[in-house]
Amino acid sequence: MKTSSIASKSIRHIMSVDVEDYFQVEAFAGVVSRDSWEQYPCRVVENCHRLLDLFDSYGVKATFFTLGWVAKRFPGLVREIHDRGHELACHSFWHRKVDSLTPAQFRDDTRQACDAIQQAASVRVTGYRAPTWSISQRSPWALEILREEGFAYDSSIYPIRHDLYGTPGASRYPYTHVFEDGQRMLEFPPATARVAGMTFPAAGGGYLRIFPLVYTSWVFRQFERAGRPLVLYLHPWEIDPGQPRIAAPLKSRFRHYTNLDRTEGRLHALLQRYKFGTFRDHLVETGYTVWSAAKGAAAGFPREVAG
């Protein structure tokens, strides 16, 4: 498989939400077993409602990468996200790192998640984001499986170095995976910044919370000067400073709890300043034909992909 670069025509940025609860994150995977998830008080519905209301107040639509476990337990939330005009996409079922699974386990997990989302909202999802950005050099086979399962795009490859994830050297801007049989699938990396020849994470999750807003705004300007869409991401629990505290190693607690009380204010500032839409919006605006509802149906990809 090879990749081809994507030229840009639009600077509408992409807003995305990874729909998972505070106890389901990778930072706590060592102290919170999946068997115990049912024991924790869920806050994902209330927090998603707050995000939906916030987006409504700015007329913004977002892509919600939804955990299958959440969709199965709270189908009404998934229907509401869809009914309020947002895009639903897949974030796995059990929030397990892709590179910890076999190809068969990954395919099964992805199918379970898509089924739960589609059962809740009667809509086929065409986008995927791996838990903890865990599609990397250790799991390139996952992209083939996503393509075989009929996904139009992926947003899992983070072009940075990190102790938990990252694919150093990957493109910072949207590009196309080209498979041996000639089929293609889009890749949308999360936002990064280039500083002194090095690539740093930006504008999402803990990086939105921990780094100053002036840094985030500078990164937006970098992308806008390049005429490229920036992919911003966050989690519902990141606007919830009152969430229960989980006993975990110091590094995990720092990553998860720092500046939870600042996320919503920073999000307001960005929504006021920049234009956002969904991945689906971007595909339509740049002339893509998304995969049809029939699994594996062919999609029309232009020679050049507008990024």
Average pLDDT over residues 12-32: 96
Is the pTM higher than 0.75? The answer reads yes
Residue 293 has pLDDT above 50, yes or no: no
Which of 66-75, 157-166, 218-227, 254-263 is predicted least confidently?
A: 157-166
pLDDT in tens, 124-146: 999 999 999 999 888 999 999 99
Per-residue pLDDT averaged across 102-112, rounded?
98
**Which pLDDT value is given to residue 290?**
46
What mean pLDDT value characterizes the chain?
89
Per-residue pLDDT, 6: 43
pLDDT recorded at residue 9: 42
User: How much is the average pLDDT of 49-69?
Assistant: 98
Between 3-7, 113-117, 142-146, 195-199, the lowest mean confidence (pLDDT) is in 3-7
If one compares 199 and 55, the residue with the highest pLDDT of the two is 55
Q: What does the pLDDT average to over 278-288?
A: 89
3 in the Ramachandran plot: left (φ > 0), alpha (ψ -120 to 50) or beta?
beta
Mean pLDDT of the 178-202 span: 91
> Which tens digits make up the pLDDT trace of 209-225?
999 999 999 999 999 99
The fold adopted by the segment(s) 2-285 is TIM Barrel (3.20.20)
pLDDT band at 1 (very low <50, low <70, confident <90, very high): low
Per-residue pLDDT, 169 = 83
**How is the chain split into domains, by residue range?**
2-285
Find the mean pLDDT for residues 89-118: 97
Tens-place pLDDT, residues 148-158: 999 999 999 99
pLDDT above 90 (res 285)? no
Whether 2 has a pLDDT exceeding 70, the answer reads no
| Residue pair 32/40 in contact by the 8 Å Cβ criterion | yes
Least confident of 55-69, 107-121, 176-190, 227-241: 176-190
Task: State the pLDDT confidence band at 289, using cuts at 50, 70 and 90.
Answer: low
Tell whether the model's pLDDT for residue 81 goes beyond 60. Answer: yes
| Mean pLDDT for the stretch of residues 43-68 | 98
Instruction: Select from 188, 214, 219 the least CA-distant residue to 203.
Output: 219
- The percent of residues above 90 in pLDDT, for the chain, comes to 78
pLDDT at 237: 98
